[in-house]
Structure 1
Amino acid sequence: MRPPRSPGRSGPPLHRERIVAAAVELLDQDGVGGLTMRRLAERLDAGSTTLYWHVTNKDDVLDLALDQIFGEVQLPEQTPDGNWQSEVEALVLGWLAAMLRHPWSAALLGRPLLGPNVLTRTEFLQSALRRAGLVEPDLTAGTHALANYVIGTAVTLSTWQRLDDPEFRQAAQRHLTTQRDRYPTLVASGHLDDRDWADTFRRGLKYLMAGLAARM
């Protein structure tokens, strides 16, 4: 929410957009633990003092970087026939795809999401539901249900991707199958098997939207 600072004629040759772009590159490369203000300054070929002219600390950078990736999510066009399901599905699928392209984002979702990109897309989502006829308190509940479904899926898939170790996966599968009597449903459904997660996500999304449609 802090406005960009203008360096003036004698100010540093940096701007917030360049800093954020470099931060996203570092985060994509090394994750949250790999981003430090020193490394960011080095990537920008600038001194730390110059960097702090624009951002107060690492938390500032993380907030800006998280909002930046949500800007990759295309805002769907409103359909002429008022097909809110297709609008919501397009937005939500784009939202999930952006987070999976930047798996570090899942680790930052405990931070306040108040950036302009996040708010613009949340506004689109809630507006689509309202135009479809959803009213309070169902409107807020529906918005949060969809947003939390995306976030929860992104956290789960990003975590599983980071553990992309065949030996670990085999050990986890053995752990489950050797306790078949304790977890019969999980074993029968292939809880830890590789699967088409995109299809699973779409199915869950349809269930959510069917429930919302029933409230309209």
Structure 2
Amino acid sequence: MPAEQKSEIASVWTRPRRQREQLSREQIVGEAVRLLDADGLEALSMRKLGTRLDAGATSLYRHVANKDELIELVVDEVYGELAVPAATGPADWRDAAARSAYSLRAMILRHPWVASVLGQVGLIHLGPNVTRMSERMAAVYGAAGFPAEETEQALSTVISYVIGMATSEAAYLSLIARSGRTEREFAASLRGSEQGSGEREPGDEDPARAREETFDYGLQRVLDGLGVRLTAI
């Protein structure tokens, strides 16, 4: 084919949707998310996904060119789960920022694989959900009073904290799942080990609540720091 006749698709978001096909992009993305949730990123392949959809890999390639495009799609799909409340001004920005952070944490814990692929998603060709939610989160910090040149930095600081903490939590929960025990049973076994080594028993607290309290403590301290910065602007 002559060079002038070649049509290169720059991004999955500019790829035209195929109509009247038995397999849709939505079906592909939905099944890919379920595969990732169940088996992790290492298990994702076009061949395995095609098998789960009872379709050949060739059928998938009509909608996505490669695994990288598929990752862009699934990341955008789960970003659509975020709940980002609006902040109307300096008085309510902190509550909106905290609720957004909790929503991001919850999404990562539902889809532990997402944290490890965020860096793979092209920063030029962002999907509609990632774009919309990023803009909504940035607006929260803009409403707080951060100047335009600091809004993204403030948002990135909070997001980095959330991703770091949630990734650690997700790894811990995966370890528990592989053990075949509940989180409370796993925590009890750790307390038993500590007692055996002479450590003081920390008490029979709810481990899920303890994780949330730890997350919230760090989040509030990050927001404290941003609040101090606002007073200096």
Q: Same fold (TM over 0.5)?
A: yes
Shift of 1:46: 1.8
Q: What SS does structure 1 have at the residue aligned with 2:139?
A: helix
Cα contact 1:71–1:118 (8 A) shared by 2 = yes
Superposition map of 1:28-39 within 5 A? 28-39=37-48
Shift of 1:79: 5.1
Q: Considering only aligned residues, what root-mean-square deviation do their CA atoms show, in Å?
A: 3.0
Structure 2 residue runs without a partner (length 5+): 1-10, 180-185
Q: Residue type matched to 1:206 in 2?
A: Q
* Equivalent residue, structure 1, for 2:81: 72
Q: Residue type matched to 1:117 in 2?
A: N
**For each residue in 1:102-157, what CA deviation from the matched residue of structure 2 results, as whole angstroms up to 9, or x when unmatched?**
11222223313633222222211211111111115432321110110111112111
**For each residue in 1:62-111, what CA deviation from the matched residue of structure 2 results, as whole angstroms up to 9, or x when unmatched?**
22112211111123144588511111111111111011011122222331
Q: Does 1:59 align with 2:68?
A: yes
Shift of 1:34: 1.8
Shift of 1:51: 0.8
**For each residue in 1:19-62, what CA deviation from the matched residue of structure 2 results, as whole angstroms up to 9, or x when unmatched?**
10010011111111222211211222222211100001122212
Q: Does 1:91 align with 2:100?
A: yes
* Equivalent residue, structure 1, for 2:52: 43
* Equivalent residue, structure 2, for 1:21: 30
TM-score, normalised relative to structure 2: 0.74
Shift of 1:197: 1.3
Q: Does 1:126 align with 2:138?
A: yes
* Equivalent residue, structure 2, for 1:141: 153
Cα contact 2:87–2:139 (8 A) shared by 1 = no
Q: Structure 1: how far apart are the matches of 2:227 and 2:16?
A: 45
Cα contact 2:158–2:222 (8 A) shared by 1 = yes
Q: Does 1:116 align with 2:128?
A: yes
Superposition map of 1:160-171 within 5 A? 160-164=172-176, 165=179, 166=186, 170=190
* Equivalent residue, structure 2, for 1:5: 16
Cα contact 1:79–1:87 (8 A) shared by 2 = no
Q: Structure 1: how far apart are the matches of 2:19 and 2:173?
A: 45
Q: Does 1:213 align with 2:227?
A: yes
Q: Structure 1: how far apart are the matches of 2:140 and 2:74?
A: 26
Q: Structure 2: how far apart are the matches of 1:13 and 1:141?
A: 44
